[in-house]
Structure formats: structure tokens, C-alpha cells
Structure 1
Amino acid sequence: MVQKQTLNLFRKAAGVVAPPPKLTVSQWADSHRVLSKESSAEPGKWNTDRAPYQREIMDSISDPDTDEIVVMSSAQVGKSELINNIIGYYIDYDPSPMLLMQPTLEMAEAYSKDRIAPMIRDTPTLTKKVNSPKAKDGNNTLLQKKFAGGHLTLVGANSPASLASRPVRIVLADEVDRFPSSAGTEGDPLSLAQKRTKTFWNYKWITVSTPTIKGASRIEMEYEESTKEQWSVSCPSCGKLQPYSWPQIRFDSVAMECVHCKEQHAEVEWKSRPGEWIARNPEATKRGFHLNALASPWEKWSRIIEEFKSAKRKGTENLKTWVNTTLGESWEDKTNDQDHEKLISRRIRYNCDVPKEALVLTAGVDVQDDRLEVEVVGWAINDVSYGINYKIFYGDPGQNAVWNQVDAFLINDFIRNDGVTLNISAVCIDSGGHYTNEVYDFCKAREHRRIFAIKGKGGAGIAYINKPNKVGRQSVHLFTIGVNEGKDIIYSRLKNEFEDKPGYCYFPVEKEKGYDEAYFVGLTAERKVTRFVGSAPKIDWVKRSSNIRNEPLDLRNYALAAFRILNPDMRYLAENQLTGNVFNQRVKRKKKRRKGVLSKGV
């Protein structure tokens, strides 16, 4: 009896000192991970079998012979949860210092609140190891989670200071195609972060993103240097493995045709078949995985087909987004050049100031050393645009005379061919030249007419319209405009040659409206090129020739920005037979109320 009790005690003691069982990331997730209501459509216990393609991706992290993992994917395949499982694994099972990079500091903060905090709260084994942010020791903050044996630090790729501090073993870089080309003046943010792993022999680099533009996509370049693996499933008829392929999808039957036996099978048949990752470059040391939404259990093929049709109808911008976020593939522009002669040949005769389809007018103003240039653009349903008037006002922008001429022009009435009078509803004026204060003065006195100062900012990843800041002694509202995105939009619309498609651009043939050959040469003056800053690609818009003036392109960009800032409900205006003048009427009413002309109830 004593001997038996001694044996039991020995077993218990051995159980206490024995190392934990070896777990892969997927095994850890299946045992411990709980999905939160805030971040999952299917909250509750994690189950890798729900999306079996995730297993090998997660388990490659646990492979001691694999240092770098690349995931190039569409949206809606669970890539954020893959990142979260990796983080949970290293907090609970293999404590290590970790760095999670997001494109911006704001995105890092949002990820911490929306993804990391709920996961720690709802996964019991993590709750025990990471203190509450309210704890008195202060170890757990929004951007740093400390635990025994390590920490998780969240940073923005745009913040050089956060990329140059303590060493880390695990680097997770999320949405790298949205990273800036340089963190301040320090260089490529991904390279800066990777340097922090040098002191660890067992480091891991995990890079994840939806791709963007071919030739400038970080994730695509990383993937091309990897094993280039595709999730492949066996055909229900012949059993041969093949990846989910968009060209094999048949719209009428909502089925995928086998590339080998040509049999067609429905979505449920394919997704119930066994699958495996097949490498196209197996000799590479870097593991690389590509996924598209056709494999996702959360996406229906019928909906993907409808979204494709809708994107194709809406034009190049929407189709580009669909290719990136649904197929997980980079977008390749067939040509960056615009043919100005084709645009000239498309001009039509208005026989009026403004065609009746236009509901809203906006304008852009460009400031040069000896003149001010202005374009008025009319906007219709489905982003259809009409060039209304292009004028040049010669004079010194440092003097009032030329500004007075522009002001008188912007106040003009424009008559539609159905007799309706339109006014300009919003204006953007470039303040980035030599006459910044003059622009600020002009705009400050006219902000009630939505005449705004703007400053263009080039570079990838910069939002087209940003919240304004108050600047200068005038305390004027200044909008920063991501001009590269605006040029992308304009060029994609100029390529549209079909009047019944969204985004079509009309131009008048009447000589007095200013749309001569020089205008179209200027409108098509630039092209997009990819350059490399160190190892990072950088997309720039450059002139096709130093002798060409590009003011028409800039002005169309500013007029488009004014339309986006105004943000009118075009459907409502069309259905109620209204125009953009309703905005101007509201301004007049507000002025009259201040004078006591109208009661508050009017």
C-alpha cells in the first residue's frame, strides 16, 4: 500500500516538472482559442477544420527549419485570425518578444482595441497571462502587452521611432502593401523591423497582405521569392489536384470546371473535397502561401460572381479593387499612357453652358507665378463628368486684380439646356506654390461658399481626401489631397470609351469653352512609373516630357477633390429633380438667419 502511494506521488511530481507536450500553432488554437463576438461572424471555440487551408500556414510557424512565412491573400479568408492565433501561441506556449506592424499607428491602435483585447479577454489561457489594462502595475497598455517571458508591441510602419527600439524574436507585418516606402527618413520599415531580430537564432518573420499594383506590390515580390504554394483540391470526378481558379468558374451553372477532365462541379462539391498546399518553387527556403476568396467558407461563389459583374460595370477602379481583395492578385495596368488624340475626337457639341444630365458643378484652381487657371466640371449620376469651362486669368497672384477676376467667374450662373440655373457648389484651390498666404486669404473669406485651400501630397497609401487642419494666421481650413489616388481615378475614367458605363468623361467641342488640343495634351501629360528606394518600390507620376504643361490634369484632380469633399447624394438629387444649388441655398439661408430675416423654423 505504501509502495503504491509512493508511486502515485512520484507520478504527480513527474507531471509537474515534465515539459509541456509539443504543440503546433493550429493544435494550440484548436485547444485554447476562443473567437470573440466583436471580431468574428462565428464566435466561440476555434476549429481549424472550418477552413482547413489555415492549418499548414499556422503550422509552418512551428517548423524550426522555417524562418520566413509569406501570406498573399484576398480578404475574407481569415488572415487576421491567423495572426491572432500566432500571437496567442507565443504568449501562452512559447513566450517571446513580438512586434506586430500595421501600416499606421492609428491602425495599430484600432487593431489592439478591436482584435487583440477581445482575444485576450475571451481566451482563458491568455487572460491568465496578460494583465488587464486597468491593473495597477501598468504592464498592459494599448500598444504593449507584457507577459512572463515576453511582450507584444504594436507599431505603425510610418513611425521610425517605434521601429528602432528593443530586439524582438517574432515580427508580424500586416497589410505590407499599405506600408510607406520609408519610415520618416530611416528607410524601408520592413527592413528596419527585421533588423531587430538579429540577436535571435530562432527568429520568425511573418508577412501578410492583400496585393495591390503589379511591380510595386511588396507582398507579391516576397511571394515570388518563396515556395509559391497554392491551396489545391481534388476534382470530384478525376481526383486530380488543382487550385481554385477564376478562369475555371462558370457563371451560368455557378460551378468550377476541372482543368483536367473538364467536368463541372458545384461549390459545395469542391469545398468538401480534401486539399493540400502544392509548391511551385519547392527549393525556396521561404514559405509562401497564396489564397483567393473562392476557397473561403465565408464567401459564396454566386456572390463573388455578382460582385465581379458589378465591379466590371462600374469601371476600372472597382474592378481593380475586386481583383486585389477577391482573387488576392495584383492589378496590372495594361498601359499608363493616355492617347490625347482619342479624347479630342470624342468631344461633343453642348449647345448650352451645361448639359441637363449634370446635377452639381465644382471647380479647381491652380496658381502659377503669372496666372490663375480654373476648370469647372459638371457631375452626373454614376460619376459621369462634363468639362464645362477651362479658363486662364493672367496676372500677378500677389495682387488682388487677378483674384477678383477669378472670384467673379466662380460666382457666375451656368444655364443648363433645360433652363435650370446652376452655381458652383465647391472649389479647391492649390496652396502649395509661392502664393500660399494669398490663397489662404482668398479662401478664408469664402469658406462659407465652400471654397477651400488644398495641398497635394504624392506617394502611395495616402488617402485622397483627409480631414482638414486649421493653418496660417488666417486659421483657414486646409485639406490634404492624395493626388496620386486622384490621378489613378482620372486616368481609369479617361480609358472608359463607352458612354453607358460609369465614370465616362464628356468634353465640349465649342472653342470658347477652352478644350483645345493643348488642354488634352496637358490632361494626359503624366504617366505612372515604379522606382525602387532601396528595396522598396515607390510609384511616382511623372511627366512624359519636361516641355509639357500638366495644369489640366491637376485642375481636374482638384475639381474631383471638391466633388468628393462636397459628397452630395446624387441619387437623391436626381430622384427629386434637384441640383447642387441646394447646397448654395442652405448657405444663403444660414446667412439670412444670422441677419434675422428667417425664423428658425423655416
Structure 2
Amino acid sequence: MNISEQQLNNMMSAVTTALQPLIRALPVTPVEWADQNYYLPKESSYGEGEWKTLPFQIAIMNSMGNDQIRTVNLIKSARVGYTKMLLGVVGYFIEHKSRNSLLFQPTDSAAEDFMKSHVEATIRNVPCLKDLSPWLGRKHRDNTLTLKRFSSGVGFWCLGGAAAKNYREKSVDVVCYDELSSFEPDVEKEGSPTLLGDKRIEGSVWPKSIRGSTPKIKGTCQIEKAANESAHFMRFYVPCPHCGEEQYLKFGDDASPFGLKWEKNKPESVFYLCEHHGCVIHQSELDQSNGRWICENTGMWTRDGLMFFSARGDEIPPPRSITFHIWTAYSPFTTWVQIVYDWLDALKDPNGLKTFVNTTLGETWEEAVGEKLDHQVLMDKVVRYTAAVPARVVYLTAGIDSQRNRFEMYVWGWAPGEEAFLVDKIIIMGRPDEEETLLRVDAAINKKYRHADGTEMTISRVCWDIGGIDGEIVYQRSKKHGVFRVLPVKGASVYGKPVITMPKTRNQRGVYLCEVGTDTAKEILYARMKADPTP
């Protein structure tokens, strides 16, 4: 039987086409993929250029991509590259493993900013991701501020973690939480963010939950809570360049015979004092390439996040859950000199130490026992006044908390110097979606109060929480009473966020949805509770 060259070529082409679905890329690790493909965009990086994984980042990234590890927690300081590590691993899951991913930010606005500033720039600058994005740079149903659907069929969602609805109806393989400690601990009264979010990966063959955050207050910090659920707390041990003994870097203090030390008033003289033999280590001498991640409690250790060993050196299976801790002293993005300057600046600010401990050391802040407020201390500060509205009050505001079976409204009178008086507390029982309940709320909003001088006062402005109920209920009442008089609000637990952020324009529902910086508000309230009441 004679076969022409054309027939032979056609047969080869047909066989090649038939086998195409079976072709798979050679397996690579997240670190290998990132070093080969990831690129740092100029608009969201310290410096534009090709990515190179740092020694302390290797085990973290590989653990994030290790199919045998279900949960990875990272307690971190600032300036250790967590966001970039996360983006590199997400790119790895999208392009190499073809897995659906969901990333949560603390708020919707933070999620949109992250998608615009980080995700879209990454897709544009990473060729293998760009090839999967035929919609890049134009409007398309697969290219939104909440979803990127790639030509491979893989989806990547980026959503705010403040709304319970964002935790529903998504089935993914990977769920990530960026700045977990800034999430509300109870999302619209339906549960913790990790409990709700991890439900989205329960049907996956290889479920993965990645949580990372700068910590906050000890005992209430969510990344601390997540870390405590893992049996393995890993710190990065590096050998002393002089004696060779391993140790993880500690900040230390005046009394400790180890840690960062410097001459008085000379931050530039800083060095690290080895805790084993008192060796003087300068930052330029420290070689992290030979470091190991070690758990003090279990003795488990790893260098690369792929192979794990017992304290005796026997290879063991990777853990189901693992926690890493890393802080600024390891980072090449800053210097030990700058850490000392940051410390000295922190000593000048009442809240500076807390910020330093959280963002530089990457540790939780523990309030001094003597500073904690108990109920009796607060009761001693109670001031009783005869009139419904005290004489000094010139303005009334109200806040409405939304619950599933009631509304709670607090009316406050304001005097010069932000002196505040609780004028009224009203509890309105009933379903929040029933008109009869809402009519009673209307009556409370329009209630008049008698001032000490005999005049009547009305509530000038109301903030109404949309958490826990259908936000449309509050939106409609805002329009009814006036969009500037009744403002829908939602909490945003983001460090440093103003107490209230008033948008410049109305949202799609025609109202001004404001964000409340809950962390900042709590700090102010706590500080004022410790102050003496105005006589």
C-alpha cells in the first residue's frame, strides 16, 4: 500500500491534534514558576523587574502550592513581600495548575483597588497569563473588577470580605485572605471569615486555604487565632556567620544578651548580637540562603516547603496545616538602621509602640494589664444630668445597629470639644424587613428632644448599619428621610482608615454608602474612656 507524503503529513497532523488534550506541562514548584514567569509591575512594586524569590520566601511559597498542605497561615510584618508572593502563587494556580481561586480583601473597595493595581498589572506583565486573557484592556464579561475568567476556563475572583453574600455560591480550589486581621470577626453575624470562606473549597480535590496578615491586638487578632489552630509554628533560623550556630532573629531589649544593639543616639552603629556566643553580626554578613524553617514545639523543619523532616532528621509527610512567622529584620527592602529609627520614633508616640510591634516585629500587641478598663472603672465615670438634652449640647446624632430581630438606636448630644452625652437608647423589636417595624424606626428618627433651655431639638444626622440585613432596606429609608440626613454605613476594619469615609458620589442605589474605620474608632473610644469625665 502506497501512502503519499501528503497523506502521511495529514495522518501525523490528525494524531497530533488528537493527543493535544493529553499534553501537560512538566510539573514545577510555585517558586520555579514565579522565577521563570513572574514580573513586578512598576505601579505596584518598589522596583520594576523580574521576580527572584528570596531565601525566606521559598518555603512559604512552596507550601502555598503544596497539595498535601491544606492550610497555610503567615503572620508577618510589613515589607516582606507577602502580596507579591500571593500574586505569584495565584498566577501559578491559574496558569500551571488550572485551578479556580478566590481572594478576599477586607472590604469591597480594597478588593477593587487590589484588582486594578495588582492583578490587572500582573496579567499584563506576565506573558503566559496575558496569553490566557484575550479580553485584556477592553470591556468584557470575563474581565470585571470582581472576576477574571481566562480562556482556559479558570476563574479568579477578588471580593470584599465584609459582606456575607460574597462568601456564597463560589466553588473554588483555592481561597486566600489578604490582611485577615482587618476583617470583621463576625461577618454580618453569620460567622468568621475563614469559616465562611473555607466552605468554598470543601468540594475541591486539592483544597487550599491561604491566610496572611500583619497582626493586631493579642487575644482578638484573627491571624493569631488561625495560627493557634495549627500544630506547627515555623520561624526562620539562620546560621551565625562567625560561630555557625542557628537562631531566628529577635529584636531584643536593653536587658537581653542578644538581638539588635546600637550605641546610644547612633542608629547607624546597629549590629546583631548572636544569642549563642555573643558574636557581632552586621546585616551585610548575614547569609539567609542556608536558613531553615523550624518549629520549636514539634521540632519539624523544612528548607523549601516541599520536603519536611523531624527533629532527628527523618523525612516526614508535609503537615495538613502550617504557620510561618517573618519580620522586617529579614527583609532586603529595608535596613536594620531604619528599624532602629522606627523604634526611636515609636517611643515618641503613645500609639507608636503598638504600630512598631505590629508592623515591624510582626507580633500581636498586648495591652498592659493596668490599662485595661473594667466595668466599675466605667461606672465611676457616669455623669447624670437632669434635662433630656444638657445645656452644652448643640447638635444631635444617632446610630442604628441592625440585628435580625431588632434595631437598636442610640442618640448622642454633642457639645464643643467633641464632648458627647448619651441622650436616648431605643430598642425596636421586630423583623427588619417588615414595614411595621420600619415605621417605628421612622418615628424614632423623627423624635423630638427637649433641651435644657426649653427648646426642642431633632436628630440632625443618622448613621444606619447595613450589616446583618438586606442593605436595600436602609437605602430606601435613606432616600425617604434624606440622603444626607440618614447615611447607610458599613464597617471596614482596615488599619489607619478614618473613622468615617464619606463618598463624593452616590452609589448605584442612589445613596451615600459610608465606610467606618472600626479599628480607628475603637482606638479613639478606648483612649477617651481612660480620660476623666468633664465636670
Q: TM-score range by the shorter chain?
A: 0.5 to 0.7
CA separation in 2, counterparts of 1:170 and 1:479?
31
* Residue identity opposite 1:274 in structure 2: N
Structure 1 position 488, deviation (Å): 2.9
- Give aligned pairs, total: 414
CA separation in 1, counterparts of 2:110 and 2:46?
21
TM-score computed with the length of structure 2 as normaliser: 0.68
1:43 to 17, 27, 48: 48
Deviations 1:140-187 (A, max 9, x none): 211101111410011111121121113111011111111112222432
* Residue identity opposite 1:299 in structure 2: T
* Residue identity opposite 1:195 in structure 2: K
* Residue identity opposite 2:250 in structure 1: S
CA separation in 2, counterparts of 1:190 and 1:456?
26
In structure 1, the partner of 2:343 is 308
- Give the match's secondary structure for 1:108: helix
Deviations 1:298-318 (A, max 9, x none): 011111111111111111x22
2:193 to 189, 200, 204: 189
1:59–1:141 distance in 2 versus 1, CA, 3 Å = same
Q: Given that residues 238 and 247 in structure 2 are in contact (C-alpha distance below 8 angstroms), is that contact kept between their aligned partners in structure 1?
A: yes
Q: Given that residues 131 and 140 in structure 1 are in contact (C-alpha distance below 8 angstroms), is that contact kept between their aligned partners in structure 2?
A: no
1:106 to 84, 104, 109: 109
* Residue identity opposite 1:162 in structure 2: N
Report the more deviating stretch, 58-67 or 430-439. 430-439
1:132 to 109, 132, 135: 135
Report the more deviating stretch, 232-241 or 262-271. 262-271
CA separation in 2, counterparts of 1:166 and 1:339?
43
1:133–1:141 distance in 2 versus 1, CA, 3 Å = farther
Q: Given that residues 99 and 154 in structure 2 are in contact (C-alpha distance below 8 angstroms), is that contact kept between their aligned partners in structure 1?
A: yes
> Structure 1 vs Structure 2: percent identity of aligned residues?
28
Q: Given that residues 104 and 111 in structure 2 are in contact (C-alpha distance below 8 angstroms), is that contact kept between their aligned partners in structure 1?
A: yes
Q: Given that residues 489 and 514 in structure 2 are in contact (C-alpha distance below 8 angstroms), is that contact kept between their aligned partners in structure 1?
A: no
- Give the match's secondary structure for 1:100: strand
Q: Given that residues 175 and 208 in structure 1 are in contact (C-alpha distance below 8 angstroms), is that contact kept between their aligned partners in structure 2?
A: yes
CA separation in 2, counterparts of 1:142 and 1:228?
35
Structure 1 position 80, deviation (Å): 0.1
1:106–1:483 distance in 2 versus 1, CA, 3 Å = closer
RMSD: 4.1
In structure 2, the partner of 1:371 is 388
In structure 2, the partner of 1:250 is 261
CA separation in 2, counterparts of 1:200 and 1:337?
44
Deviations 1:505-546 (A, max 9, x none): 7x7xxxxx964xxxxxxxxxxxxxxxxxxxxxxxxxxxxxxx
Structure 1: gaps of 5 or more residues: 344-365, 375-390, 394-405, 411-423, 445-451, 472-476, 496-504, 508-512, 516-602
Q: Given that residues 76 and 362 in structure 2 are in contact (C-alpha distance below 8 angstroms), is that contact kept between their aligned partners in structure 1?
A: yes
2:74 to 60, 68, 71: 71
CA separation in 2, counterparts of 1:488 and 1:40?
31
In structure 2, the partner of 1:297 is 332
1:457–1:140 distance in 2 versus 1, CA, 3 Å = closer
Q: Given that residues 209 and 219 in structure 1 are in contact (C-alpha distance below 8 angstroms), is that contact kept between their aligned partners in structure 2?
A: yes
1:57 to 30, 49, 60: 60
1:269 to 259, 275, 285: 285
Structure 1 position 199, deviation (Å): 1.2
* Residue identity opposite 1:230 in structure 2: R
CA separation in 1, counterparts of 2:245 and 2:126?
40
Q: Given that residues 104 and 156 in structure 1 are in contact (C-alpha distance below 8 angstroms), is that contact kept between their aligned partners in structure 2?
A: yes
Q: Given that residues 428 and 454 in structure 1 are in contact (C-alpha distance below 8 angstroms), is that contact kept between their aligned partners in structure 2?
A: no
In structure 2, the partner of 1:319 is 353
Q: How does 1:198-347 map to 2 (within 5 A)?
A: 198-226=202-230, 227-247=232-252, 248-252=259-263, 253-271=269-287, 274-282=290-298, 285-315=320-350, 317-335=351-369, 336-337=371-372
Q: Given that residues 459 and 482 in structure 1 are in contact (C-alpha distance below 8 angstroms), is that contact kept between their aligned partners in structure 2?
A: yes
Q: Given that residues 428 and 453 in structure 1 are in contact (C-alpha distance below 8 angstroms), is that contact kept between their aligned partners in structure 2?
A: no
1:467–1:367 distance in 2 versus 1, CA, 3 Å = farther
Q: Given that residues 169 and 202 in structure 1 are in contact (C-alpha distance below 8 angstroms), is that contact kept between their aligned partners in structure 2?
A: yes
- Give the match's secondary structure for 1:256: strand
1:41–1:276 distance in 2 versus 1, CA, 3 Å = same
* Residue identity opposite 1:80 in structure 2: T
- Structure 1 or 2: larger helix share? 1
Structure 1 position 240, deviation (Å): 0.9
Q: Given that residues 466 and 480 in structure 1 are in contact (C-alpha distance below 8 angstroms), is that contact kept between their aligned partners in structure 2?
A: yes
1:461 to 482, 485, 493: 493
CA separation in 2, counterparts of 1:206 and 1:32?
21
- Give the match's secondary structure for 1:289: strand
Q: Given that residues 101 and 155 in structure 2 are in contact (C-alpha distance below 8 angstroms), is that contact kept between their aligned partners in structure 1?
A: yes
- Give the match's secondary structure for 1:195: helix
Structure 1 position 101, deviation (Å): 0.6
Q: Given that residues 55 and 288 in structure 2 are in contact (C-alpha distance below 8 angstroms), is that contact kept between their aligned partners in structure 1?
A: no
Structure 1 position 41, deviation (Å): 1.3
CA separation in 2, counterparts of 1:478 and 1:239?
58
In structure 2, the partner of 1:164 is 168
Deviations 1:255-287 (A, max 9, x none): 111110111111111256632211224465312
Q: Given that residues 101 and 175 in structure 2 are in contact (C-alpha distance below 8 angstroms), is that contact kept between their aligned partners in structure 1?
A: yes
Q: Given that residues 502 and 514 in structure 2 are in contact (C-alpha distance below 8 angstroms), is that contact kept between their aligned partners in structure 1?
A: yes
- Give the match's secondary structure for 2:292: strand
Q: Given that residues 465 and 482 in structure 1 are in contact (C-alpha distance below 8 angstroms), is that contact kept between their aligned partners in structure 2?
A: yes
* Residue identity opposite 1:371 in structure 2: A
Structure 2: gaps of 5 or more residues: 1-7, 253-258, 264-268, 301-318, 395-412, 427-443, 450-456, 462-483, 507-511
